[in-house]
Structure 1
């Protein structure tokens, strides 16, 4: 396997001014005073200390984590990592293979469940939570409520998933509030479509399970009383990804059914659309717009669901596959959420860059995944064949919405960094992580286990390694070494894993305290590429600043080469910083081990940069 070594160098020039004082820099519109850091955690995996990891293992064989595992010590350690928001993935009750009939919960059919523990995106009951996560399933809502309270006491906000595009085929609400009916309860199933039907139908048909492929069998072929190649659904419904076949393909989202939002089968809409320019209105105006309109029933159902969880104490939502749902619905839903909680954190999964601005401005989303642009670009650089030249181009193209584009290097859908299919070594993400966390004013997200180099190597059952399983009961080995029999102290981590977590902790804590990271940005990459000897397309540099801090970020993505050069800060940047000719002492802030000098001569800044493999440093001006 090819060896990679990447290097990062960050310089901070701190100025003794207040951020609210006037300068000659352009103002930057922002929604937060400081950066946010989201810790995505797969809730059922976090506290599981079972190391059996049998493919297709049962809950008794492979174990499962509980809400209670997020105790005060665990939450404080997450907070101390530099986290402001926890996204508890997999909280709403979804279809799974475990017998909870003693608690009034119907069994799920393995023919329409992916894996044994089930997909968190096949929600079975939106007004309750996954019984696997409770010590006492009868008190599962109480146990989750206690977790919300503990999280708030630890100083963090709570995010959970909402999946408006689809629900489990066997949706069944057990604890609906008074007057709330299940999805489809009042549908006219003789019609393919009606504006107030919750589902689309294939009239005069019966659902058939897919033809299994690639030697796949439900539960790995284990016998089960419900696993008989049949699932009763008459008439058949459209599948979650939009398949209109009564027998979906194995690669379709066969475990789910698509929600109808008033979009006819021919794509035309049965609801009002915005007047021209309405995307520039605030959420209060969007809320008023829908006040006297005829609203499709599915819209109202999801509004009620989100209002329920806001009342429960949840602080925000991550919306799955948002671009598969009409943007007008998001205006309706998100404006309703914001009217109840203006500070609610609304994050959406959208992968089509052409739709970004619609979902931000028309749909009133706070944040979207920056996958197709930034993540994919950084991944190519990390793998050795991308050029850093592309990152300033990406950032320029995002300039008007940069605050809204959440940055990440891992999440539950992506390959683990340490997987051989990504780069095979977690330490190689250090410079990429610095860039991801400091490039813009947007939030940063990390996935649990990322900070200790989890490689996602387990053969869990459904799906392939490289991603930590979201479908099966499994243990997460590197993360379990940090959990350390629920001491949550990293006691079993290797020296390298401890050092990696220390890097994440130092970096993330810096980002949530920095004023400059909510300020201005300017790339200096191409200037140095043109005028600096020994600087090339494997290095990236840019500056960030406000009146109290100025950052110069330099990342070396070269696989083997060390770099020494005289970094040049262009005159126009020095002018914006109001620096005079002279010398500025720099003290290192990230590891507290190096002192340097910033020279300003003829209006241009110069810093001697000496980069060692995988090194990241932060300097600050002492005036």
Structure 2
């Protein structure tokens, strides 16, 4: 909880610079950090696509594509009603694509450095405009996105978009730069490998070469597929490859951005003084005011400020750990001064760096991927028991509020896929634990709530993941869309029940005071009981002054059980319960049980089916 309070303090300090003490108190009492947040990630290009053809390597004409305008008032209200606070519109900034948009002043992209037919959303070509594929009229694409921002806010939702700080498209071409903003690399000294104010790293006097083994557009004819790509001198590739001819498994479609890290790994910029991990965002902002920083820092801060001015409410930062946390201090403190409530989410996978990016880098949230997500996946696949969950929670206790939980996103195998949980039903206990075990935000990926398994073969994209490189339809999601009615009219009975389950879990998490309160596991107490409590189960309690919860999840996909759940004396004392009988009611399906407190210890008879979960509230 310490880190939770630090986060709130950081947020509040910046929002009250010019406020009176009374106003400060009001800000504290109304802080959005006082409730759980729920993020709904949508792959914008796919959300509104009703075409069900799904031909591998299909064109827009064959397979269709979603548009900004598909997010109607009705669609957004349904997302809101699902129990969502923030929408992450993935793939909005203009990235490299194959489709010919030259009539709109957009240069063609070379298929040899574009992944798939639709292109990677993480090879951004122009940060000051949006993907033309997403617009009904590409000439007005920015205005169409601005209208979506307005509709999103009208629905009572906030929105975030991607910023990809580590790399840009191999052929970045800013056609929409604000006055005074030069293109990435426009002012670089290309005769040297490195200069602090160069935006890229170079391989002087050497031409870039296309990697071996690449078959653009699956081998079809295209006038730009000629085996050559004009880049002289060659630049380092996005994942850090220093070869003029990178490997086909490198991020060859992108170039790495230089943040003032010399080729030998040393830093060519001021570092934060000792103790700054406890300083406020305002202090960090003040620190950088008189410091000379690399040019790339200034460019990305300008990009963030541009989108904030458009009404965007925050950002998801791709591969943030590949960029020094000093830059994030510079960037995020500037954002928080303008928008104290901005939602800043970072993709960081190294647990040893979590606290640097939270405390020094002033990130609000990081992916909890390699800890809870990976463990839950092992458990449901039968590769682990549930005991390690306790140690994960203990190890992250000081930063638990900052570790965003998810089970599905654009990079990962679909929760319902055979490669993960095996079915949407099997994924239910994972969802309950993920959403209720900490004060952190919860994220779901569009289609997860109706059991999308990622079976489609888009061409470039891999099976079990909904492709982010191809034009595809998302079958389960399309049945919920029902031709643009967004009423679930084509869903099967089980898919409707699944969406209802997600709606219950997410809405409960948004409103529950206990889920921003205290946590204690009771799993260890019950594993020693050995009277029907299965090794595949996990249990814990959450509570606040006004709400007491008992959460139990059965991860077994085949075993049911009847057992007596024990609530330790320590919890009974903290809850100030006297000996007697208490009713506990499941907040998902309203089933009831009785908690008996005898000699200061609680016991409740529980019956659990395979893959069943309960969120019991003490009445």
TM-score, L = length of structure 2: 0.94
Identify the residue that residue 98 of structure 2 maps to in structure 1. Answer: 97
- RMSD of the TM alignment (CA)? 1.1
3-state DSSP class of the match of 1:428? Answer: coil
Q: Give the Cα–Cα distance (whole angstroms) in 2 for the partners of residues 372 and 617 of structure 1.
A: 26
1:387 matched to 2:385: yes
Contact 1:384 1:559 in 2 (8 A): no
Count matched residues: 589
Q: 1:606 aligns with which of 603, 606, 611?
A: 603
Contact 2:561 2:608 in 1 (8 A): yes
Deviations 1:188-228 (A, max 9, x none): 0001000000000000000111101xxx5110101000111
Q: State the 1:61 CA deviation.
A: 1.0
Deviations 1:147-185 (A, max 9, x none): 011001101100000000000011111111111111000
The 5 A counterparts of 1:88-237 are: 88-212=89-213, 216-237=214-235
Q: State the 1:270 CA deviation.
A: 0.6
Deviations 1:433-465 (A, max 9, x none): 000000000000000000111111111111321
Deviations 1:587-618 (A, max 9, x none): 343223x2221111111111111112333344
Q: Give the Cα–Cα distance (whole angstroms) in 1 for the partners of residues 558 and 260 of structure 2.
A: 56
Contact 2:556 2:610 in 1 (8 A): no
Q: Give the Cα–Cα distance (whole angstroms) in 2 for the partners of residues 424 and 523 of structure 1.
A: 27
Q: Give the Cα–Cα distance (whole angstroms) in 2 for the partners of residues 605 and 533 of structure 1.
A: 15
3-state DSSP class of the match of 1:128? Answer: strand
Identify the residue that residue 20 of structure 2 maps to in structure 1. Answer: none
3-state DSSP class of the match of 2:427? Answer: helix
3-state DSSP class of the match of 1:32? Answer: helix
Identify the residue that residue 16 of structure 1 maps to in structure 2. Answer: none
3-state DSSP class of the match of 1:412? Answer: coil
Q: State the 1:556 CA deviation.
A: 1.1
Q: State the 1:31 CA deviation.
A: 6.8
Q: Give the Cα–Cα distance (whole angstroms) in 1 for the partners of residues 348 and 609 of structure 2.
A: 37
Identify the residue that residue 437 of structure 1 maps to in structure 2. Answer: 435
Q: State the 1:536 CA deviation.
A: 3.5
Q: Which has the higher contact order (CA 8 A, sep 6+)?
A: 1
3-state DSSP class of the match of 2:604? Answer: strand
Identify the residue that residue 13 of structure 2 maps to in structure 1. Answer: none
Deviations 1:95-149 (A, max 9, x none): 0000100000000000000001000000000000000000111111110011011
3-state DSSP class of the match of 1:427? Answer: coil
Identify the residue that residue 26 of structure 1 maps to in structure 2. Answer: none
Q: 2:287 aligns with which of 282, 285, 289?
A: 289
TM-score, L = length of structure 1: 0.93
Q: Give the Cα–Cα distance (whole angstroms) in 2 for the partners of residues 35 and 231 of structure 1.
A: 48
3-state DSSP class of the match of 1:567? Answer: strand
Q: Give the Cα–Cα distance (whole angstroms) in 2 for the partners of residues 315 and 529 of structure 1.
A: 44
List alignment gaps of at least 5 residues for structure 1.
1-29
Identify the residue that residue 28 of structure 2 maps to in structure 1. Answer: none
Q: 1:472 aligns with which of 470, 486, 489?
A: 470
Q: Give the Cα–Cα distance (whole angstroms) in 2 for the partners of residues 394 and 103 of structure 1.
A: 51
3-state DSSP class of the match of 1:161? Answer: strand
Q: Give the Cα–Cα distance (whole angstroms) in 2 for the partners of residues 589 and 442 of structure 1.
A: 20
Q: State the 1:504 CA deviation.
A: 0.4
Contact 2:584 2:592 in 1 (8 A): yes
Identify the residue that residue 425 of structure 1 maps to in structure 2. Answer: 423
After TM superposition, the structure 1 stretch with the greater mean CA deviation from structure 2, 533-542 or 600-609, is: 533-542
The 5 A counterparts of 1:60-79 are: 60-79=61-80
Contact 1:532 1:566 in 2 (8 A): no
Q: Give the Cα–Cα distance (whole angstroms) in 1 for the partners of residues 431 and 88 of structure 2.
A: 19
Q: Give the Cα–Cα distance (whole angstroms) in 2 for the partners of residues 453 and 339 of structure 1.
A: 40
Distance 1:395 1:242, change over 3 A: same
Q: Give the Cα–Cα distance (whole angstroms) in 1 for the partners of residues 422 and 563 of structure 2.
A: 29
